[in-house]
Structure 1
Amino acid sequence: MIKVLIVEDDPMVAEINKNYLGFVKGFSCEGIVQDTKEAESFLEKNQVDLILLDLFMPEKNGIELLMEIRKEDKSIDVIVISAASDIQSVKSALRLGSVDYLIKPFEFDRFNDALKKYKNEHEIIIRHDKFDQEELDEQLLHQNKFTIDSSTQLPKGLTKETLCSVVEGIFTEVKTKEKFSTETLAALVGISRVSMRKYLKFLADIEMVSVELDYKKTGRPTYTYNIKKENKNRIKPYLNSEVTF
């Protein structure tokens, strides 16, 4: 079981991350702390394998905590979960060894992918005392590389025909309102919400749409989307070249 510490100053977001974590097999939440001082105190008394780390916190920020962890040479991995999307924050986190970087708000699928990838690499490492070059290349360093030819292939389960309908639906929807939801777009296009979430995740991954977490007064928070008009042409390589929107 991979032991996880959640470092997040927003109690609602921390609870969402904890709930998400509970859906991924092989992980256990060992604790939730609201600032880096609490995190340092927790780590002095408890052993964890992975930290889900927010960057924006009172007093010392997440990058500073990550620096301390590296300075002390602790065998702890970090996945950053933050609203910070500026290049400096991303570069700093990656240079300090963050194994993944999730920008808030994010879908569960992206969280799930990050945890599963980490679990896979964690299990590969603990099974080996040493690697030869071929094993290292195949199992860790190059396992997630994409070739140029495959870079414009749709993820498994997505089709060009449905994607075209989804994109047309998005441009139809934004004519009447600035934001749209999975439910409204699924009804407009005529596919299930589960399928629509897969297409919207793909469009968010290529940054054609942006995602926001809408915290309602009652009930669970929901995701809303908006098209990034400056990035609308990013979809064209995945569809027929004559398609225009």
Structure 2
Amino acid sequence: MSGGSSGSDVPIDVIDVLVVDDDPQVARINAAYVAKVGGFRVVRVAHSAAEALAALEEHPADLILLDHYLPDGTGVQLVGDLRRRGLLADVIMVTAARDIATVRAAMRLGALQYLVKPFTFAGLRAKLEGYAALHRTCAGGGQAEQAEVDRIFGALGAAGAGAAELPKGHSAATADRVRSVLRTADTPLSAQDVALRSGLSRQTAQRYLKLLERTGRVRLTLRYGETGRPEHRYEWGRPA
């Protein structure tokens, strides 16, 4: 993890992204998708391996969204070249290449995720949110107990449960509404707080909060009062 930007007009925890795709239109769409996810900023777009290397030398990025099919090589070859040059930007492959040999090679070279085209915005957002959780968890450095290690390795795995894979009976639009309330909250919220801010019933808010907690995107904490049961409080993407 290379950390975020330090520009005076950009939050210090922003995640800088380089989008690499040989098709300019696809690159623009991917960049627009990234821009819609809070906490991410597209710093450059490249259409070849050479352009990507030049962009990284000029402006280091935290994360590369990388196509495999490039005019001057492959994405996997580029990842290997990056590592040999000591460029440690994280990589999420975003490509139509779906043969197991390519997937395995990308994994061996350290790609953190692999998203197969065509995909939806929800699919990419899930990968980015998983990466953001990993980025936050690793930002503090120091030592890690087994539980923390498990959380680090699980952060990206949880990203597989995107909106397109919601259990039967759950609405992607409702999940997005609950997610938006939590992402914009400054403090942990109760189910009643989420219900009031989202316009949902308390029961519906509670059901979606439990779902998001199971996927690893929401942290549950307990607030104890003087009497009675502890109150469940929920917050978005903050590691324990």
TM range (shorter): 0.5 to 0.7
1:79-120 alpha-carbon deviations (Å, 9 max, x no partner): 000000110111111111111111110011110000000000
Q: State the alpha-carbon separation in 2 of the partners of residues 144 and 130 from structure 1.
A: 20
Deviation at 1:61, TM superposition (A): 1.4
SS of equivalent residue, structure 2 residue 79: helix
Deviation at 1:134, TM superposition (A): 2.7
The one-letter code sitting in structure 2 at the alignment partner of 1:158 is: K
For the Cα contact (< 8 Å) 2:113–2:156, is it kept in 1? Answer: no
Query: TM-score, structure 2 length as denominator?
Result: 0.60
Matches within 5 A, 1:188-203: none
SS of equivalent residue, structure 2 residue 17: strand
- Would the alpha carbon gap of residues 6 and 155 (structure 1) be closer, same or farther in structure 2, given more than 3 Å must change? closer
Q: State the alpha-carbon separation in 2 of the partners of residues 68 and 31 from structure 1.
A: 19
Partner of 1:92: 105
Partner of 2:197: none
Q: State the alpha-carbon separation in 2 of the partners of residues 145 and 103 from structure 1.
A: 16
Deviation at 1:158, TM superposition (A): 2.2
Matched, 1:57 2:70: yes
For these two proteins, the number of residue pairs brought into alignment is 157
Matches within 5 A, 1:175-186: none
1:189-232 alpha-carbon deviations (Å, 9 max, x no partner): xxx9969xxxxxxxxxxxxxxxxxxxxxxxxxxxxxxxxxxxxx
Gap regions ≥5 residues in structure 2: 1-13, 159-163, 175-240
For the Cα contact (< 8 Å) 2:131–2:156, is it kept in 1? Answer: no
Partner of 1:158: 168
- Would the alpha carbon gap of residues 83 and 128 (structure 1) be closer, same or farther in structure 2, given more than 3 Å must change? same
Partner of 1:80: 93
Identical aligned pairs, as a percentage?
35
- Superposed CA RMSD in Å reads 2.6
Q: State the alpha-carbon separation in 2 of the partners of residues 156 and 41 from structure 1.
A: 40
Partner of 2:117: 104
Matched, 1:43 2:67: no
Partner of 1:141: 153
Deviation at 1:66, TM superposition (A): 0.3
Q: State the alpha-carbon separation in 1 of the partners of residues 154 and 18 from structure 2.
A: 28
Matches within 5 A, 1:20-35: 20-35=33-48
Query: TM-score, structure 1 length as denominator?
Result: 0.59
